[in-house]
Structure 1
Amino acid sequence: MGQVVDETGSSGGVRANHRWKVLGVGFAANASFSAAFSGIPTTAVFLRHGYHIGNGGLGLVLGMLGLGIAVSELPWGLLTDRWGDRRVLLLGLLTTAAALAAMAGFVVPHGTRAPGIVPLALGLLAVGLLGGSVNGSSGRAVMAWFREGERGLAMSIRQTAVPAGGGLGAIMLPALAAHLGFVAVYGVLAALCAVTAWFAWRWLHEPPVAAAPATHQATIDDENAASQPQTVSPLRDIGVWRVALGIGVLCVPQLAVVTFATVFLHDFGHAGVFAISATMAAVQTGAAVARVWSGRWTDQHGNRRQYMRACSVLTALLFALLALIAAGVGGRHGWTTVALAVMIVLGGVSASAWHGVAYTELATLAGTRRAGTALAMGNTCAFMTLFVTPLAIPPLLAAMSWPAVWAIASACALLALPVFPRPSRAAGYGSRVRA
């Protein structure tokens, strides 16, 4: 599936700069789905009220969204490596749009009547199962169209779509839920997925092969073959598994912010809807900027593994500080609400900045032909965390307190340090040699 580039800059009849359109499609696909899985939790206060559920029920329904993604990621990834990026991404986006449209039609509160927790949980589970197709298929497409030395930046731009979409959701969805109800929330999300599917149909294609003379060929897969045998399955590669498991552990503090920071700021910090939306939008905006910078910086320095491990330590420190500030607030508010919001932003950005770098590392270890499977392994671990984290927080709150929640998040971030592979001095781009 290597990209063939001739001297005119064309790629089998497709201009070389077409790869940026492919990246744009990958960005839009991730952003549209992220607006759902990161945006819906920002409506947590309205979910509790509209569907008549408590914190435990809230954790369950949000966890079902993560469970759906976690369960489906690996099958979607294997299917992507078999069918190709275009078919899987189109299928996933269109069926996700259909599931969200069905929720807008049948699983929304009307006045004092609520559909109940079971239809809501099943609906979000279906959205997760179908949307799990997006990451592996879009990531494989980007890896196929870009070369080593560009991939860190390209994959980080694609991963930037996750906080960008989450930020869009944080700005739009609470206001929509407050003024127009959840029919507008699910309807807008369905429309985003459908529009992105049109662009994918228009622009996303497999890179052409054998379209130029052999003397002019420069394939991406040849670059991968020098560093990773294509016959080795990522499922049997301990280096790939260590990166994937490290992703899952380091996602705990990030997803604690995504799923329950709005509840924390509302219940503990007594922040209003505008302040909460602004805080969550700042988290996602900061994470987007940090991901692009991270990808470019690690491309230039060849230090992906060092960067991932450094983010683990920094995130642990920031969440430990958040726990200390929350413990010292007591019953006082005012300026302390601002301090809590600032720490949520700093911790959330640090806990998200490394994503593009880690997924580039996964795909590089596996090789382009197996990138769909490797990326799915990482996302399976990440979204299993999205399932477990919101389920764990309510009982932790009942047994302990918010400072304890953030302290545990800090410990999880630190736990990622020994899980991630150590850097190798022989690795040209910081990553190629297994630990």
Structure 2
Amino acid sequence: MATATSISAAGGSTGRRYGPRHRWIVLAVGVGAQGSFAAMFAGIPVTGIAMRADYHLSIGQLGLALACLGLGVAVSDIVWGLLTDRYGDRRVLLIGLTSTGGLLALMAAAVTPGDGAGVAALAACLLAAGALGGSVNGASGRAVMTWFADGERGLAMSIRQTAIPAGGSLGVAVLPWLAHSYGFRAVYAFPAVLCLIAAAATWRWLPTSDAPPPAATGDVGRSPLARWDVWRVALASALLTVPQFAVLSFTAIFLHDDKGQGAALAGVTILIAQIGGGAARIWTGRRTDRRGNRGAYLRGIGALTGVAMAAAAVLTQAPTPITVAALALGGLLANSWHGVAYTEIAALAGPARAGTALGLEGTTVFGAAFLTPLLIPVVLTVASWEAVWALAAAAALLAIPLVPRPRAVTAR
């Protein structure tokens, strides 16, 4: 169990002591930061039908614009991780959340269809939003890793990662409705407010440490960027991201174009995947804390996700409720592995290097999030929706052999 230590107060004054229970407040701040970014990151793609119509985009242009969110995170996450290890979680979170909220406010004011914004301006702003918002991945994760001891990290990191489907579910539920009822000014203003609230909570409750946080013990060790076992976890996570973002980004388009359904059914499907995946993250985080089998869990979820997405491919032309059920199950499974994977890669690196390792994880995960929306329109051009879901299944199955076995995990 972590013990209390004397560290700086959130506002910069010194001498205030924080006991072990403060780690749960730190976790709550991390959840808020991650959730505010996730509301934007998951919610904006589900406005795809309205975005395509209001901005007058082709499906290829829509895929490019949505992919820029993931690209922004992918190109910036390692940098944010290195900065977090160098300057601390609080500074990076404050800079990232404030700048993301400001950019979204600017988009609400000047980058809407009513302002005459086209695909170039939209894609550039979404790229910047991803790059700035990606700061929360390594910074909030490092805060959790340093404040929680090893026997609680899986649970704590899984709770933090559950903020992604929870915040994403909020975005999925609210942003399409805002787009339909009030337009894209409201779509961008809503996550802007969330990011600024999260920044205020960070300022108030996340301490600035003059000494290491309670659980941050151990030597610095070799850079995670030079270790193959760390890279294997990151690459396996990237492959598991493909089915997640295939479901997240294109379920609405698939149900609209192929099944003649509106955005409501797509929203329900994605909500099931997000909420169910979030619950699974917490359960597996606690379970793997007790059993220490994070690698075995990641291999198992790769197999189950592959089977579920293969079923979605086979059932593409089945009655809509059956197809939707297969997609919801595949999406749920594809949303359930994150807490365990992020814990594993951060534990491999150690608390002092956790920001860099989590930055690498974010780079590969969001790199896959960038490539997936670009690849799917190409697959649709030359093949069909069956091929799209089959590709998602193949990616999940390819992740299985990449996850390190126990000997590879413990080797330095």
TM-score for the superposition, normalised by structure 2: 0.94
Q: Distance in 2 between matches of 1:209 and 1:124?
A: 37
Shift of the alpha carbon at 1:208? 6.4
Partner residue of 1:306? 296
Q: Percent same amino acid at aligned positions?
A: 50
Q: Distance in 1 between matches of 2:172 and 2:162?
A: 15
Partner residue of 1:244? 234
> Is the radius of gyration larger for structure 1 or structure 2?
1
Shift of the alpha carbon at 1:169? 0.6
Q: Relative to structure 2, which stretch is displaced further, 338-347 or 406-415?
A: 338-347
Q: Distance in 1 between matches of 2:411 and 2:38?
A: 31
Shift of the alpha carbon at 1:230? 2.0
Partner residue of 2:205? 203
1:165 equivalent to 2:199? Answer no
Q: Distance in 1 between matches of 2:211 and 2:196?
A: 30
Partner residue of 1:374? 357
Shift of the alpha carbon at 1:343? 1.2
1:345–1:207 CA distance, 2 compared to 1 (3 A): farther
Q: Check whether the contact 1:265–1:276 (CA below 8 A) recurs between aligned residues.
A: yes
1:363 equivalent to 2:363? Answer no
The amino acid across from 2:136 in the alignment is: V
- 1:22-73 deviation digits (Å, cap 9, x = unpaired): 1001001111000111110010101100100011001100111111110000
The amino acid across from 2:411 in the alignment is: R
Q: Distance in 1 between matches of 2:29 and 2:228?
A: 31
Partner residue of 1:41? 45
TM-score for the superposition, normalised by structure 1: 0.90
* Matched length: 403
Shift of the alpha carbon at 1:432? 5.3
The aligned runs of 1:92-111 (5 Å cut-off) are 92-110=96-114
Q: Distance in 1 between matches of 2:155 and 2:28?
A: 13
Q: Distance in 1 between matches of 2:352 and 2:409?
A: 16
Which residue of 187, 190, 193 corresponds with 1:188? 190
Q: Distance in 2 between matches of 1:258 and 1:198?
A: 29
Shift of the alpha carbon at 1:270? 2.0
Q: Distance in 2 between matches of 1:70 and 1:189?
A: 20
Partner residue of 1:333? none
Shift of the alpha carbon at 1:275? 1.7
Which residue of 78, 90, 94 corresponds with 1:90? 94
Q: Check whether the contact 1:80–1:372 (CA below 8 A) recurs between aligned residues.
A: yes
* Unaligned segments of structure 1, at least 5 residues: 211-217, 330-335, 425-430
Q: Check whether the contact 1:173–1:185 (CA below 8 A) recurs between aligned residues.
A: yes
Q: Distance in 2 between matches of 1:402 and 1:275?
A: 18
Q: Check whether the contact 1:12–1:208 (CA below 8 A) recurs between aligned residues.
A: no
Partner residue of 2:389? 406
1:220 equivalent to 2:249? Answer no
- 1:96-147 deviation digits (Å, cap 9, x = unpaired): 001101110111012xx74110000011011011111011000000111100
Shift of the alpha carbon at 1:258? 1.2
Q: Check whether the contact 1:304–1:357 (CA below 8 A) recurs between aligned residues.
A: yes
Q: Distance in 2 between matches of 1:67 and 1:106?
A: 22
Partner residue of 1:5? 4
Q: Distance in 2 between matches of 1:76 and 1:24?
A: 21
* Unaligned segments of structure 2, at least 5 residues: 6-14
Q: Check whether the contact 1:32–1:165 (CA below 8 A) recurs between aligned residues.
A: yes
The amino acid across from 2:152 in the alignment is: E
Measured on the aligned residues, the alpha-carbon RMSD in Å equals 1.8
SS of residue in 1 equivalent to 2:142: helix
